[in-house]
Amino acid sequence: MTAPRHPYRQLDRRSHWRSISESDHPLDIGEWYKRKFELTDLRIGAAGSCFAQHIGRQLRDKGFRYVDVEPAPNLLRPERHAAYGYGIYSARYGNIYTTRQLLQLLLRATGEFEPLEQVWERDGGFVDPFRPTLEPEPMSRLEVNELRADHLARVRKLFRSVDVFVFTLGLTEAWVDARDGAVYPVAPGVSGGSYDSKIHQFVNFDATQVRADLVAFLERARGLNPAMRFILTVSPVPLMATASGQHVAVATMYSKSVLRAVAGAVAEEFEYVDYFPSYEIIASPVMRGQFYNRDMRSVNKAGVEHVMKQFFSQHAPPGDGTSNDEEAVSEQEDAVCDEELLSTFGEPG
Amino acid sequence: MTHVLIFGDSHTAAMKRGLVSLREQESVPHGFEVDVIGLGGGQHMLDRFFEVSDGRAVMTHPTFAKRLPVVPIPDGAQRGTVYAWCGLFHFAKAWRDRSWIDFRPSAIPGSRMPLTMGLVTETVLHWLRFQLELLEVVRRTGARVLAVETPRPFHHHWALKRIPAEVIAHVDGHLQDLMVRELARRSIEPVRIPRTCLDDLGFMNPEWRNEVETDEHHGNAAFGALMIRRVCEHLAAHPAGEEPRGESY
All residues of chain B having their beta carbon less than 8 Å from the beta carbon of residue A85 are none
Check: CB of residue B96 under 8 Å from CB of residue A330.
Answer: yes
Separation of alpha carbons B182 and B127, rounded Å: 14
All residues of chain A having their beta carbon less than 8 Å from the beta carbon of residue B107 are 142-143, 146
Question: Closest approach of chain A CAs to the CA of B102, in angstroms?
Answer: 8
Q: What chain A residue is nearest to B20 in terms of C-alpha separation?
A: A344
Question: Closest approach of chain A CAs to the CA of B145, in angstroms?
Answer: 22
Q: Does position A276 have pLDDT exceeding 80, yes or no?
A: yes
Check: CB of residue B104 under 8 Å from CB of residue B169.
Answer: no
In tens, the pLDDT along A92-142 reads 999 999 999 999 999 999 999 999 999 999 999 999 999 999 999 999 999
Buried b (16+ CB within 10 A) or exposed e, B184-209: beeebbbbbbeeebbeeebbbeeebb
Widest CA span in chain B: 58
Nearest CA to B216 out of B206, B228, B224, B202 is that of B206
Separation of alpha carbons A258 and A247, rounded Å: 17
**Binary contact (A337, B117; C-beta < 8 A):** no
In tens, the pLDDT along A51-60 reads 888 888 899 9
Percent of chain A with pLDDT over 90: 79
Give the number of other CB atoms < 10 A from CB of residue A246: 14
Q: What chain A residue is nearest to B123 in terms of C-alpha separation?
A: A76
Q: What chain A residue is nearest to B122 in terms of C-alpha separation?
A: A76
In tens, the pLDDT along A19-37 reads 888 887 888 888 899 999 9
All residues of chain A having their beta carbon less than 8 Å from the beta carbon of residue B113 are 70, 73, 150, 154
- Average pLDDT, rounded, for chain A: 91
Terminal-to-terminal C-alpha distance of chain A: 99
The amino acid sitting at B23 is R
Question: Closest approach of chain A CAs to the CA of B46, in angstroms?
Answer: 12
Q: Does position A217 have pLDDT exceeding 60, yes or no?
A: yes
Check: CB of residue A224 under 8 Å from CB of residue A217.
Answer: no
Helices (H), chain A: 18-21, 52-61, 99-109, 141-161, 207-224, 248-269, 278-283, 301-314, 328-345
Instruction: Give the torsion through C-alpha atoms of A338, A343, A344, A345, to 10 deg.
Output: 70
Widest CA span in chain A: 101
Nearest to A150 among B93, B113, B120 (CB): B113
pLDDT of residue A321: 45
In tens, the pLDDT along A279-333 reads 999 999 999 999 999 999 999 999 999 999 999 999 999 875 443 333 444 545 5
In tens, the pLDDT along A91-101 reads 999 999 999 99
User: Taking the alpha carbons of B205, B208, B214, B215 in that order, is the dihedral positive or negative?
Assistant: negative
Distances, alpha carbon B156 to alpha carbons B88, B188, B208, in Å: 22, 31, 12
pTM: 0.90
Check: CB of residue A318 under 8 Å from CB of residue A63.
Answer: yes
All residues of chain A having their beta carbon less than 8 Å from the beta carbon of residue B37 are 345
Check: CB of residue B18 under 8 Å from CB of residue B227.
Answer: yes
pLDDT of residue A63: 93
Separation of alpha carbons A138 and A124, rounded Å: 8
pLDDT of residue A13: 85
Residue B68, phi-psi category: left (phi > 0), alpha (psi -120 to 50), beta (remainder): beta
The amino acid sitting at A226 is P
Q: Does position A341 have pLDDT exceeding 80, yes or no?
A: no
In tens, the pLDDT along A223-239 reads 999 999 999 999 999 99
Q: What chain A residue is nearest to B112 in terms of C-alpha separation?
A: A150
State the best of A75, A134, A151 to mutate against chain B, taking most chain B CBs within 10 Å. Answer: A75
- Residue ranges in chain B whose pLDDT is less than 50: 249
Percent of chain B with pLDDT over 70: 98
Nearest to B41 among A338, A343, A349 (CB): A338
Q: What chain A residue is nearest to B64 in terms of C-alpha separation?
A: A348
pLDDT of residue A2: 73
Average pLDDT for residues A264-278, to the nearest whole number? 98
Nearest to A348 among B63, B113, B214 (CB): B63
Separation of alpha carbons B99 and B107, rounded Å: 16
Question: Closest approach of chain B CAs to the CA of A144, in angstroms?
Answer: 9
State the best of A128, A152, A337, A345 to mutate against chain B, taking most chain B CBs within 10 Å. Answer: A337
User: Taking the alpha carbons of B67, B69, B71, B75 in that order, is the dihedral positive or negative?
Assistant: negative
**Binary contact (B93, A330; C-beta < 8 A):** yes
* Chain B residues bordering chain A (beta-carbon distance below 8 Å): 9-10, 12-13, 16-17, 37-38, 40-43, 63, 66-67, 92-94, 96-99, 102-103, 106-107, 113-120, 122-123, 126, 158, 210, 212, 214-218
Cβ-Cβ pairs closer than 8 A, A with B, add up to 110
pLDDT of residue B200: 95
pLDDT of residue A308: 94
Nearest to A74 among B38, B67, B97 (CB): B97
Question: Closest approach of chain B CAs to the CA of A145, in angstroms?
Answer: 9
**Binary contact (A341, B42; C-beta < 8 A):** no
pLDDT of residue A320: 53
Average pLDDT for residues A196-212, to the nearest whole number? 97
**Binary contact (A147, B116; C-beta < 8 A):** yes
Q: Does position A62 have pLDDT exceeding 60, yes or no?
A: yes
E strand segments, B21-139 = 32-38, 50-53, 56-59, 70-71, 82-86, 103-105, 113-115
The complex's ipTM?
0.91
All residues of chain B having their beta carbon less than 8 Å from the beta carbon of residue A338 are 10, 40-41
pLDDT of residue A20: 85
Nearest to A344 among B16, B63, B66 (CB): B16
User: A184 versus A10: which is more confidently predicted?
Assistant: A184
Instruction: Give the torsion through C-alpha atoms of A261, A262, A264, A267, to 10 deg.
Output: 170
Question: Closest approach of chain A CAs to the CA of B243, in angstroms?
Answer: 31
User: A3 versus B89: which is more confidently predicted?
Assistant: B89
